[in-house]
C-alpha cells in the first residue's frame, strides 16, 4: 500500500497543448506493467485542448460544470457532470469548457512502452470553437 498525501502541486496545462487556462492534478500513475494514468483537469471558460489522439484511447468523466467535446468531422457535443466519454484509439478529437462555464473532468489514459498517452496536433481555432453552443442554464 502506498499513500500519496495531497502533496503534488497542481500543474498548468502546457500552452502548446491547450488554449486558455487549464490546471491538472495527478490522481494516479501506476508503475509498469500496470499502465493506467489518471488526472483531474480543470478548464476555465472557453479553455480547451488542442486536437489530439490517444493511441490506447481515453475515457473522460465530467465532474463539474459544463463542457464540450468533438471528434473530427462530428458535431460539438455538450457534456455535463456524470457523463463519460470514451475516445477511440487514434480518434482525432478535443475537449474543454463551454464558452461561459467552468468544467472539470477526470481523464483516464493508458501508456506503455510502445504507446504514448497522446499525440498532439494543431490548436482548436476560435473559428472552430465559435460554433459551440452557449449554455444558458
Ligand atoms: Mn483526449
Question: Cα(51) to centroid of ligand 1, in Å?
Answer: 8
Residue 86 pLDDT: 98
Question: Cα(19) to centroid of ligand 1, in Å?
Answer: 14
Question: Cα(95) to centroid of ligand 1, in Å?
Answer: 6
Q: Which residues contact 97 (CB under 8 A, 6 or more apart)?
A: 20, 43, 44, 45, 46, 47, 48, 65, 66, 67, 68, 103
Q: Which spans in the chain are helix H? A: 126-129
Question: Cα(81) to centroid of ligand 1, in Å?
Answer: 17
Which CATH number does 11-129 carry?
2.60.120.10
Whole-prediction pTM? 0.93
- The model's pLDDT over 73-87, given as tens digits with 9 standing for 90+, comes to 999 999 999 999 999
Residue 137 pLDDT: 62
Q: Report the Cα 43 to chain-centroid distance in Å.
A: 9
The overall average pLDDT reported for the chain is: 94
End-to-end CA distance of the chain: 43
Q: What is the residue extent of each domain of the chain? A: 11-129
Amino acid at each position: 500500500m502506498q499513500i500519496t498525501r495531497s502533496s503534488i502541486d497542481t500543474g498548468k496545462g502546457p500552452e502548446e497543448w491547450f488554449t486558455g487556462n487549464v490546471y491538472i492534478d495527478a490522481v494516479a500513475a501506476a508503475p509498469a506493467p500496470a499502465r493506467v494514468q489518471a488526472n483531474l483537469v480543470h478548464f476555465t471558460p472557453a479553455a480547451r485542448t488542442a486536437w489530439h489522439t490517444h493511441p490506447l484511447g481515453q475515457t473522460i468523466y465530467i465532474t463539474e460544470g459544463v463542457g464540450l467535446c468533438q471528434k473530427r468531422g462530428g458535431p460539438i457535443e455538450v457534456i455535463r457532470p456524470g457523463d463519460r466519454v470514451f475516445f477511440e484509439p487514434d480518434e482525432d478529437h478535443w475537449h474543454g469548457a463551454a464558452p461561459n462555464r467552468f468544467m472539470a473532468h477526470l481523464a483516464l489514459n493508458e501508456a506503455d512502452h510502445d504507446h504514448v498517452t497522446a499525440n498532439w496536433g494543431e490548436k482548436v481555432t476560435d473559428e472552430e470553437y465559435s460554433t459551440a453552443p452557449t449554455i444558458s442554464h
